[in-house]
Amino acid sequence: MTFNNSLTNFKLTTMKKLIKLAAWLSGTVGALLMLLGIIARIAGGVLFNHYWANYFYSAETFLLLGIFLFVGVRLWDSNQ
């Protein structure tokens, strides 16, 4: 019973770490896209054949995903 319990705890801990990593990656991608949007706006509105607002729409999605993943891990920790 103890081995099975420790294996389950290991799997849950690994999954939490992977979710946190996904949240950090999502936030980083969102920040980079937002930076590209700012550069595109300064460069005249178009960068890599995309209008500057397109970068912000994508950045918003990645940032929100990162926030939701962090909140999910935080709620998971508070329930245990």
pLDDT number for residue 1: 45
CB 3 within 8 A of CB 31: no
Query: Which sequence spans correspond to the domains of the chain?
Result: 14-79
5 by DSSP, 3-state: which?
helix
Tens-digit pLDDT string for the chain (80 aa): 455 566 667 677 888 888 899 999 999 999 998 998 888 888 888 887 778 788 888 899 999 999 999 998 888 888 76
**Residue 44 half-sphere exposure, CB side, CA atoms within 13 Å?**
4
Q: Report the predicted TM-score, pTM, of the whole model to 2 decimal places.
A: 0.76
Query: Tokens in use for 26?
Result: 């999502």
List, in order, residues 6 or more apart from 46 with CB less than 8 Å away: 40, 52
